[in-house]
Amino acid sequence: MKKLIFILVFALFAISAQAQDNVSPEKVALIKELLRLTGSEENTHKIFDSMVELQKAESERTLKSMIEDDKSMSAADKAEAKKMFVETFDRMMAKLERFFAEINVVGLIEEASVRLYSKHFTEADLRELVAFYRSPVGKKVVETTPEFMLESMKVVSDTIVPKLDVFIKKITEEEFASVKQNLPAPKKKTVRRKT
C-alpha cells in the first residue's frame, strides 16, 4: 500500500513538473510579471499574517469563554490557564512561520500560480492582465486587495464566529458529558479493619 501511495505521489509530481515544463518561456515570463504586478508575494504574507491574527483572536475568545464557564477552576487557575494558552499559541505560530519559511511557501505558490495561470489563460489573456495591472485602476486593485480581504474576513468572522462559538461549546459539552457517562465507575476502596 505504501509503495502504491509513493508511486501515485511521484506520478503527480512528475505530471505537475511536466505541465510546467510545457509552458513557453514567454508565458512563464508573463505570469511572473503578473505575479510581480499584483504583489503576489507581499499579499501572501499580508493575508497569512491577517489570518493568523484573526485565528488567534477567535481561539482566544473561544478558550477564554470555555475557561470562564468552567466552574471547577479557581480564579487563579483560570488566569493561569489563559496565560498558558496565549504562550502556547504564540509558540505554535512561531513554529508555523518557520515551517513556511523552510518549505519556501512563496516559491511553491509561484510554481502553482504558473501552472494555474497557464492552464486558464492564453498568452494574449496574460498580456491584457499585465496591461490592466499596470493601469491606475489595476494598481488600486492591488493596493486595496489585502485590506479588502481582511475586512471581508472580519465581517464573516463577526457574523459567523459568535454562532459557531455557541455551537462548538454546545457540542463540546455534549461530548464531554457523554465521555463522563461512559467512563468506568470508580472502584470503591475497601477499608480493612484489624480484628
Backbone φ and ψ for 143, nearest 5 degrees, come out as -65, -35
The predicted pLDDT at position 190 comes to 66
Q: What are the tens digits of pLDDT across the range 5-53? A: 344 334 444 444 444 558 999 999 999 999 999 988 787 777 677 777 7
Query: In this structure, is the dihedral angle defined by the CA atoms of residues 169, 173, 179 and 183, taken in order, positive or negative?
Result: positive
Cα–Cα distance measured from residue 66 to residue 108, given in angstroms and rounded to the nearest whole number: 38
Sequence spans of domains, the chain: 23-170
CB 85 within 8 A of CB 60: yes
CA distances in angstroms from 102 to 106, 119, 191, listed in the order given: 10, 28, 60
C-alpha closest to that of 32 among 89, 85, 111, 103? 111
For residue 94, what pLDDT band results from cuts at 50, 70 and 90?
confident
Predicted TM-score (pTM) of this structure: 0.52
The residue ranking higher by pLDDT, 170 or 109, is 170
Could you count the other beta carbons within 10 Å of the beta carbon of residue 34? Answer: 19
Q: Grid coordinates in use for 33? A: 510579471
pLDDT in tens, 106-131: 788 889 999 999 999 999 999 999 99
pLDDT in tens, 145-159: 878 888 988 888 889
pLDDT value of position 80: 85
